[in-house]
Amino acid sequence: MAYLIGIDASTTATKALLVDERGAIVAVAASEYDFQTPHPLWSEQDAALWWNGTVASIRRVLADSGIDPAAVVGVGLTGQMHGLVLMADAASDAAGEVLRPSILWNDQRTASQCDEIRARFGKSDRLGKRELVRITGNDALTGFTAPKILWVEENEPEIYRRIHKILLPKDYVRYRLTGDYATDRADAGGTLLVELATRDWSPAVVAALGIRPEWLPPTHEGTQITGVVSAAAAEATGLRAGTPVVGGGGDQAAGAVGVGAVEEGIVALSLGTSGVVFASADSPIYEPEGRLHTFPHALAGKWHLMGVMLSAAGSLRWYRETLAPGVAYDDLLAPAAAIPAGSDGLLFLPYLTGERTPHPDPLARGAFIGLTVRHSQPHLTRAVLEGVAFGLRDSFELMKSAGLSAIRQVRVSGGGARSPLWRQILADVLGSELVTVNTTEGAAYGAALLAGVGAGLWPDGETACRETVRVTGSTTPDAGAAAVYERMYGVYRGLYPALRGSFERLA
């Protein structure tokens, strides 16, 4: 039996997942850690945490499974996207060391640098944004890597002068595993430095931002072998020296592979604290205003569009903790099933922590709209579920307007997907079949499948997904409820524009 390991270096833990050649999960281990917020809007993490977590988690899955490490034929990498890892100048005594804590994806310090990036691509903010989106598929956002580089240049010039390589979080783990500098094209897309059409670093963007091309590592497709486990890493982890390490992908791309969203028309919907809509595309299409993210996919010749809402299942958690503390979720949702679709004219805006897609507005606020004395708590509960579904539909509508082909199936995962009522509401609002699948380990599982393709266990990613990912349940739209939601969605879409000015004044 051959085995694969998927490594996921996330913001809160590094997970190792051991998978056999049939795609069955053999062992899983995670090593938790924290991140720091030394100043308002800042979010940083010590890169050593990812490597220490990788070592501990690999050793644990090898020990728990009892397999011979020589049977591991490939390692796949995934992890949090957008983080900035700066490696020391090769000419210095500190060569190969990290120059400062990594600036993470959720760091918000770079608003002025985003404005500066747009300014370098157009005479106005709007023109600069459209040109940037045309090249990269994305607007300049504070979470991305490029504005973080400009921030270091402006605020920490002594560190900027010592840069030898710029890496992403999981690629620091790769460096420690193999001694090689490399990245995959899906994760690289989240830096804002990749040309969407060529799937490689953009000479125009790199030059405009004053970044030295030699700072950027070579890019690879997610299934390509980028190096092998070094003798030092083998001693640390217990793996066999020479074990291949593949490109892998950022957590969203790898997670989509993990649920089989690798074909156009199949969409992955993650219903966690935040909500992510991920659609594979066969060509580099993008939303002209940059309201969706568009990156290369982890599979060669494929791209993806992605929309993110900030409070999906997080909205339901807030609602329960605030208005029904101590009530079990099942007990809270059961009465809502008896309320008709549309909650008798009650709507909920799920902007409890601001919003990203389709309204990149940190000042957006949550609201119940349409309350009357006829509404009971079950109405409010159902309105929360419906409001989140409407917010997720916004991403679907943007994808359709960008040119994505017809959506034939939505593969749902995350804590919110455990609710049959919420799954039915989503199917009715989206007008699409909603299915659950047998894989629940997300990005780490996708990284393991990518490693399997690189190791030759499957000829390509599509085959790997077909042979390992199986549909376990299906929810189809109800025509009557879908018609009600179509009318209600029109009202929902008009609420943010009507209330935006009020949100700004309240903030």
- The answer on pLDDT for 459 being more than 80 is yes
Q: Domain segments of the chain: what residues? A: 82-167+183-216, 260-437+477-507
C-alpha pair distances (Å), 214 with each of 87, 156, 432: 12, 20, 46
C-alpha pair distances (Å), 78 with each of 171, 212, 447: 9, 25, 6
Pure H helices in 436-478: 442-454, 461-468
- How much is the pLDDT for 426? 98
Q: Residue 335, preceding bond cis, omega within 30 degrees?
A: no
First to last CA, the chain: 59
Which residues does 289 contact at the CB level (< 8 Å), separation at least 6?
Answer: 129, 130, 133, 139
| Torsion angle in degrees (nearest 10) through CA of 164, 170, 172, 176 | -150
Classified by CATH at the fold level, domain 260-437+477-507 comes out as Nucleotidyltransferase; domain 5 (3.30.420)
3-state secondary structure 227-275: EECCHHHHHHHCCCCCCEEECCEEHHHHHHHHHCCCCCCEEEEEECCCE
According to CATH, the superfamily of the domain at 82-167+183-216 is ATPase, nucleotide binding domain (3.30.420.40)
Work out the percent of the chain whose per-residue pLDDT is above 70: 99
pLDDT digits (tens, 9 = 90+) for 466-501: 999 999 999 999 999 999 999 999 999 999 999 999
Determine how β-strand 183-184 pairs with β-strand 219-220.
parallel
Same fold, 82-167+183-216 and 260-437+477-507: yes
Which of 263, 270, 282, 266 shows the shortest CA–CA distance to 461? Answer: 263
Contact status, residue 251 vs residue 80, Cβ threshold 8 Å: yes
Contact status, residue 154 vs residue 310, Cβ threshold 8 Å: no
Residues designated as active site: 251
Distance CA 417, CA 312 (A): 11
State the DSSP H helix or E strand holding residue 69, giving kind and residue range, or none if neither.
none
Residue 457 has, within 13 A of its CA and on its CB side, a CA count of: 28
Q: What is the mean pLDDT of the chain?
A: 95
pLDDT digits (tens, 9 = 90+) for 77-128: 999 999 999 999 766 555 579 999 999 998 989 999 999 999 999 877 778 8
C-alpha pair distances (Å), 300 with each of 18, 224, 281, 292, 337: 24, 9, 11, 21, 43
Residues in a beta bridge with 244? 228
pLDDT digits (tens, 9 = 90+) for 2-41: 999 999 999 999 999 999 999 999 999 999 999 999 999 8
- How much is the pLDDT for 92? 59
C-alpha pair distances (Å), 459 with each of 71, 467, 504: 19, 11, 53
Which of 36-50, 77-91, 176-190, 320-334 has the lowest average pLDDT?
Answer: 77-91
- How much is the pLDDT for 91? 61
Contact status, residue 1 vs residue 71, Cβ threshold 8 Å: yes
Residues in a beta bridge with 352? 354
Give CA angle at 357 (437, 247), nearest 5°: 55
Structure tokens at 309: 């809402």
Q: What DSSP line would sit under 11-68, residue for residue? A: SSEEEEEEEETTS-EEEEEEEE---B--STT--EE-THHHHHHHHHHHHHHHHHH---
Distance CA 172, CA 178 (A): 10
Contact status, residue 268 vs residue 303, Cβ threshold 8 Å: no
Residues in a beta bridge with 413? 270
pTM for this entry? 0.92
Average pLDDT over residues 248-266: 95
Distance CA 62, CA 5 (A): 10
355: helix, strand or coil: strand
Distance CA 385, CA 396 (A): 17
